[in-house]
Structure 1
Amino acid sequence: MGTTVEANNINIWYEEFGDKGNETILLIMGANANCMQWDQEFIDRLVANNFHVVRFDNRDVGKSTWFGKEPALNKFLKLLPNFLLKIIVNSIFGLAVDDKGRFKFNNPNPEYNLSDMAQDAVALLEVLNIKKAHIIGASMGGMITQILALDHPEKVLTITPIMTSPGVQNDSLSGPTEELLEAYKKSFVHNIRGRIEDGVVEIYRQLTGSRFPFNEQKFRDKIKPVISHGNNPYALHGEAVGASPDRTSRLQEIKVPALVIHGTEDAILPLDHGIAVADGIADSKRMIMEGVGHEIPEELLPEIVSEIVENIKRAS
């Protein structure tokens, strides 16, 4: 069972697995997703390899402190008929997305940025009396992982950035697919109507690659407990990503062993984002998953965990 502690002046919910006497692996999840999205089999396999595993809810999701609130505009949007709501949503996305399909998150005064979220992780480790940890981060969590290795190297043993980017506003890197952007529009409408689960399904259908086709009923069964743990569709994670500088030129400063994992069919952060992370870190290995999207398929967990363990051994 998890618990909540005060760290970095906010409440952070976390959960521990395995023997606390073993080396720690800290799991950091991506944008608008709480820590229950880490597959339990993934955690169990790490524990079986003699690791102490900690997962936690990032700020603004799950049972940690929330900052993002429902916009006042939504009260008006909820009154609109579907056809008019869709027209307005199209207009909103037209203003919010650049010519590469990337969201414009240029808020000059964000509530917080990724460095603040990295500090949350550091503060949690300190509360738990963990001097150093192996960091595994997915998507936005992989960005936070990079920042931890860059700005808090004394806390980091190894890193495994999964399906992530050195900077989403990097003009040399690809943008999201048109199909995904359309899914975000549909998801926005579902959220306005209070159909949170349907909104999540729309997005993850597009994030799933062709190798392991999307199984909607299986996904709904898995996502229900994630949503019930604490789903905040208004989390300010996107603004935090947009407010954080590109890390490409700094990646060479990372000195710990890194394993970069990425799918060839990632619809939101295409493969060139992962390649850029791997190319920038001197002591890095890469695991390219053919036919895989923005996901960690359960079918590949044995192979993924094996690669992670091998990367960790390189720090010994």
Structure 2
Amino acid sequence: MREASRSDSMGGGGRATGGQDQLADVGRGVTLCYRRSGGGEIPLVLIAGLGQQMHDWPDGLCAPLADLGYNVIRFDNRDVGKSTHFGFRPPGPVDLLRKRWHTDQYDLADMAADTVGLLDVLGLNSAHLVGMSMGGMIAQTVAARYPDRVASLTSIMSTTGAPRVGRPALSTWRLMFGRPARNRDEHIASAVRMYRHISSRGYPFDESAVAAAAAATWDRDPRPAAGVGRQLAGILKSGDRTAELGAVAAPTLVVHGDRDLMVNPTGATRTARAIAGARLHTLPGMGHDLPVGVWPALTDLLDTHIRTARSTDAPHR
């Protein structure tokens, strides 16, 4: 495994701007693009959701965490952004329904192994993992399969994969399976339409921020639909992970909004129930996004959770 670097800047919408992108060979033919911020000694790894890139963790959330002493690490999962993309054709709606996978189709366990590979490259024995949506599923899987590598776990707006739990609303499914964007403008319009639907109804909708993030996504990875399709197949291929979550030993915080149309709040309830000692916190008015108004509360929740975990754990964590 190896590490390399190159400059890459993104702008707008309170998302990641400037800085140095790093490339890490995490093994098995996968290279992840990541970015670090903050000079603190507490490693905090943020794992993005379906189709998201590292800049979907807003700077306005990451900067206060860095100021609190965290070494904040964001990265592009496989098949998005500047990380390794797979060349096989993603499954269509019928394939997803019938669970017909390409022979090279990966699952959440593979993506969890990518995350652990990144920890290896960075020389981290363990880290505090925070994942949103699909990123929460990946973080859960790392905690279950690599317990010594996870100092604490925070699962945000995610679920267990159990049937009839944490499922998108029918209206959300219809938007998800719309025609893929053919150009940058269509991609931005599609993102605005989706986020207007799944956004936090208890907070103002910031269309300009969503459009800026979508533009950055396209500029870093034009025509991202195929990678998103393969990631979705990876989630569905993984099935019900409830039993596996019983192996999670890390102190766990589960965070969810009560207005989520992408991952029904039942996903949070089941996640907290499946992990011994997990604490569930519901943020009123939050949907399936991270609006500015949520950042202070989420920062406080994360900091309190991690420092509580550190106070009862080994000194190196």
Segments of 4+ in structure 1 off by > 4 A? 68-71, 103-106
Please name the residue that 1:79 is paired with: none
Q: Name which one, 1 or 2, has greater alpha-carbon Rg.
A: 1
Deviations 1:203-237 (A, max 9, x none): 11111131014232342134322332225211110
Conservation of the 8 A alpha-carbon contact between 1:209 and 1:265: yes
Distance in 2 of aligned mates of 1:202 and 1:268: 13
Other structure's SS at 2:298 match: helix
Residue 198 of structure 1 is matched in structure 2 by 189
Matched, 1:183 2:175: yes
> Deviation at 1:182?
2.9
RMSD, matched Cα: 2.2
2: CA distance, partners of 1:143 / 1:213: 28
Match of 2:291, as an amino acid? P
What is the distance in 1 between the residues matched to 2:100 and 2:144? 23
> Which residue pairs with 2:212 in the alignment?
221
Decide whether the 8 Å contact of 2:200 with 2:259 is kept in 1.
Answer: yes
Deviates more, 1:133-142 or 1:206-215: 206-215
1:52-71: CA deviation from partner (whole Å, max 9, x where unpaired): 11111101000011115677
Q: List alignment gaps of at least 5 residues for structure 2.
A: 1-19, 312-317
> CA separation in 2, counterparts of 1:300 and 1:104?
38
Q: Which amino acid aligns with 1:130?
A: L
Contiguous gaps of at least 5 residues in structure 1: 74-91, 98-102
**What CA distance in whole angstroms lies between the structure 1 residues aligned with 2:49 and 2:244?**
21
Contact 1:26 1:135 in 2 (8 A): yes
Q: Which amino acid aligns with 1:25?
A: L
Report the counterpart of residue 164 of structure 1 in structure 2.
158
Contact 2:88 2:104 in 1 (8 A): no
Q: Indicate the percent of aligned positions where both proteins have the same amino acid.
A: 28
Counterpart of 1:11 in structure 2 is: 31
For residue 183 of structure 1, what is the amino acid of its counterpart? L
State the match for 1:233 in structure 2: 225
More deviation, 114-123/104-113: 104-113
For 1:197 and 1:19, locate their aligned partners in 2 and report how far apart those are by CA, in whole Å: 34
Return the letter of the residue paired with 1:28: I
**CA–CA distance in structure 1, aligned partners of residues 33 and 254 of structure 2:** 27
Equivalent residue for 1:83? none
In the alignment, the residues of structure 2 paired with residue 140 and residue 153 of structure 1 have an alpha-carbon distance, to the nearest angstrom, of 19
Instruction: For residue 189 of structure 1, give the secondary structure of its aligned residue in structure 2.
Output: coil
SS at match of 1:283: coil
